[in-house]
Structure 1
Amino acid sequence: MSFLQNKKILVTGADGFIGSHLVEFLITQGYQVKAFCFYNSFNSWGWLDSLDKENLQRIEIFMGDVRDPNGVREAMKDCQIVFHLAALIAIPFSYHSPDSYIDTNVKGTLNILQTARDLNIERLLITSTSEVYGTAQYVPIDEKHPKQPQSPYSASKIGADAIADSFYRSFNLPVTIVRPFNTFGPRQSARAFIPTIITQLLSGKTEIKLGDVTPTRDLLFVKDTVRAFEAIANCNELIGHEVNIATNSEISIQEVADLLIQKINPKAKIVTDKNRIRPEKSEVFRLFGDNTKLNNLTGWEPKTNFTQAIIQTIEWFSNRENLSHYKSDIYNV
C-alpha cells in the first residue's frame, strides 16, 4: 500500500506545467489532493482549468501566494504530505528581475519549510532543477556534482535547496530535494525550447527563431517525471537526500529541432535570434543526468520512448484550443 493513501496531499505550483500533470496523476491514482494555485483576479486555475470536469471536481483548490507565510499556513494546515513545485523558472527573466526570484524561490520555500516544521508534516518534497549543476564538469551528473550558479534563477534554486537541507539537518524535517532534469510535454511554457519550436512551426513559420542550438539536455517526458515524484514520496530511504530524475542520456537542441521540423514541416529552417542567446558564462552547455540513486532505491525508470513523447507533445499543441494559449510571434522570456 502506498504511504500516500488516506493522506491529504498539497501540491504547490499546481496551476503550472509539471504541477498540473502531478495533480492529474495523483487524482487518477486515487489520492486526496489540494492544489495550491497562484491567486489572481481572473479566478484562473492555470492548466488545471484544462482537466476534465470529473477530475477537477475531485481536487480541492486553494488560491494563494507562497511568498505569504499566512497563506501558506492556511493551505498546509490540514495536509500531511507536501509537494512543493511553486517557483519562478524562466532564466532570461531572472537576469533583470532577480529580486522576484529570491522572494518566490527562496523565501517561498522557507515559508513552506517553516510551516512544515510547525505542523509536523509527514513528508515534504522540495522541487529543485538540473540548472543548479551548471555546465557538466563530468557526466553523467550525479547528486555529488558541484553546484554552479550560472544565472540568478539557478542561484535562487541553490539557495532554496540549501535551506531545505538545513531544515533536515537542524530539525529532522522529513525533506527530500527532488531534482528533475529537462522535463517536456503538453502544457509546457513557451519559454522552453521545445514549445518554442513547435508553436512556431504550427503557426506556419518557415524560419524558426532560436538561440544557441549546440547545448545538450537530458530530456524527460512529464508523465515519467510525475511518476518519479510518487515513487520518491513513498521511499523513506530518500528522506534527507537530493535525488535526480533523469534519463541517463543527452541530446542537442539542434537534434531536437531537426526532429520537430522533420515531423511538422520539413521545409522550415533554423535562424539564429541574438535576443535568445544567453551570456556565454551563463549558458549551460551540457546536461546529462545520472538516475542511479533513484533507480536503486525505488526502481523508477523512464517508460516513455523519446520519439513517442515528442509525437504526443506535437499532437497536444496541434489542438487549436491548446495552441491558442501561446503567442508564437513573441519571444517569451
Structure 2
Amino acid sequence: MKILVTGGAGFIGGNLAEAFAREGHDVTVLDNLDPYYDTGIKEQNIEICEDAAAATDGSYEFVDGDVRDDDLTADLVGNADVIYHQAAQAGVRTSVDNPRKPNSINVDGTLNVLDAARDSETERVVLASSSSVYGKPEYLPYDEEHPTTPVSPYGVSKLAGEQYARVYSEVYGLPTVSLRYFTVYGPRMRPNMAISNFVSRCLNGEPPVIYGDGAQTRDFTYIDDVVDVNEQLLHDDAADGEIMNVGSTDNIDIQTLAEVVRDELAPELELEYTEAREADAEHTHADISKANALLGYEPTRDIREGVREFIDWYEANREWYEPLVRQS
C-alpha cells in the first residue's frame, strides 16, 4: 500500500514508518525537522527507514516540508492510500510558553490533512491524539466518556484535532480513527523524557531528579504496542469514526519509576527533588476496554519490562543518544 506518515521522522512516526517499510509498503514521510528536540534522532530515524525499505520490495521517500503547506500536503495525501497523521508540536510546557504554535500545527495542519483526504480516495486517516485532552481526572482510569477539560494549550489543540477528525468522518464520510496515546516511551524516544533523563543520570553517577514530590502518576505505553495497533488499522475498519485510548492499563508514580531505573543501574544513588513543572498533569491512567473490544488491543509490556528493554537499547546506542539527552 501507499502510506503517508506526517511527522514521520519523529519518535512515534519514525517507528511507524520503519515498520511499514519493513513490511514492503511504499512509505512517504513528511516532516519539517523542527528542532523541538535535536534532529539527530530524526536523522537516525530517516536512515533506519531507508535501510528497512532497501531490504524489501517497498520504497521510502522523505519529504522535508510542513503540514501547514496546504498545496504540498494535498499533493502527498492525494497519492496515498492511508494517512498516519503524527505531525504535531508536542510538549505541554512548550505550549504554555507559546500557545499559538501548537494551535497552528496541531489544528490548522490537521485540517489541511483532513481537507486533502476528503477530496481524494483516502481509505483512512489515523490521527495521533493524546491523554492530555482529559485534563484533571474526575475518576480513574480515564475512559473515553470522561470529560475533556485539558489544562494546557497543547491538550486543547489535540482535542480540537481529534474532534475535527470525528466531524469529517460523520459529515463527509471520511474514515478516521483518533488514538489517545498515554506517555509513549521506548527506543529513539524524545531525549527530554523522564525515563531517558533518569537513565542518563544514573549511568553517569548522578541522582535522578524528580519534578515535584514524585507522587504524580503516569500510564507509560511501550512504543511496540503503539506500532502494533497502528499496523492493524492499515486494514481493519472496525474503529472507523472512533476515538480511543491507547495505554498500558498499568500506571506508576514518578518516584517509583525513578527508583526502578536507579535500582537497575546505580542503587547507591539517592533521589533528588525540585519544583514541579507548570501545567503537568497530576495523574494519567488509561481504560483500554474500547480499543480491546474493537481491535483486540492488549499491551505486551508493563513499565518494568519496558524500562529494562529501553536501558538495554540506551546502553547499545549511548554514543549518539546520550549527548542529546544531556543537552535537553
Q: Confirm or deny a common fold (TM above 0.5).
A: yes
Deviation at 1:237, TM superposition (A): 2.3
Q: What are the residue-to-residue correspondences of 1:1-333 with 2, within 5 Å? A: 7-38=1-32, 45-51=42-48, 54-57=51-54, 58-202=59-203, 204-212=204-212, 213-274=214-275, 277-279=276-278, 282-318=279-315, 319-328=317-326, 330=327, 332=328
Where in structure 1 do 4 or more consecutive aligned residues deviate above 4 Å?
39-45
CA contact (8 A) 1:16 1:46 kept: no
Deviations 1:200-225 (A, max 9, x none): 222x1423222122111111110111
Deviation at 1:148, TM superposition (A): 1.4
Q: Aligned with 1:166: secondary structure?
A: helix
CA distance in 1, matches of 2:84, 2:24: 16
Partner of 1:3: none
Distance 1:171 1:288, change over 3 A: same
Distance 1:164 1:245, change over 3 A: same
Distance 1:221 1:43, change over 3 A: closer
Deviation at 1:21, TM superposition (A): 0.9
CA contact (8 A) 1:9 1:81 kept: yes
Deviation at 1:305, TM superposition (A): 4.4
Question: Counterpart amino acid of 1:154?
Answer: G
- Matched residue count: 319
CA distance in 2, matches of 1:258, 1:270: 8
Distance 1:157 1:310, change over 3 A: same
Deviation at 1:325, TM superposition (A): 4.4
Deviation at 1:158, TM superposition (A): 1.0
CA contact (8 A) 1:199 1:326 kept: no
Distance 1:224 1:322, change over 3 A: farther
Deviations 1:279-326 (A, max 9, x none): 3xx331111101111111222211234333211111222223332441
Deviation at 1:132, TM superposition (A): 0.7
Question: Counterpart amino acid of 1:100?
Answer: K
Deviations 1:220-251 (A, max 9, x none): 11011110112234331211110111222211
Question: Counterpart amino acid of 1:211?
Answer: Y
Deviation at 1:273, TM superposition (A): 2.6
CA distance in 2, matches of 1:216, 1:21: 25
CA distance in 2, matches of 1:160, 1:40: 20
CA distance in 2, matches of 1:98, 1:40: 16
Note the aligned Cα RMSD (angstroms). 2.1
Deviation at 1:185, TM superposition (A): 0.5
Question: Counterpart amino acid of 1:209?
Answer: V
Deviation at 1:43, TM superposition (A): 9.8
Deviation at 1:74, TM superposition (A): 2.3
Distance 1:297 1:210, change over 3 A: same
CA contact (8 A) 2:250 2:302 kept: no
Q: Aligned with 1:136: secondary structure?
A: coil
Question: Counterpart amino acid of 1:230?
Answer: E
Deviation at 1:265, TM superposition (A): 1.0
Q: Aligned with 1:82: secondary structure?
A: strand
TM-score by length of 2: 0.91
Distance 1:138 1:40, change over 3 A: closer
CA distance in 1, matches of 2:156, 2:185: 22
CA distance in 1, matches of 2:176, 2:28: 19
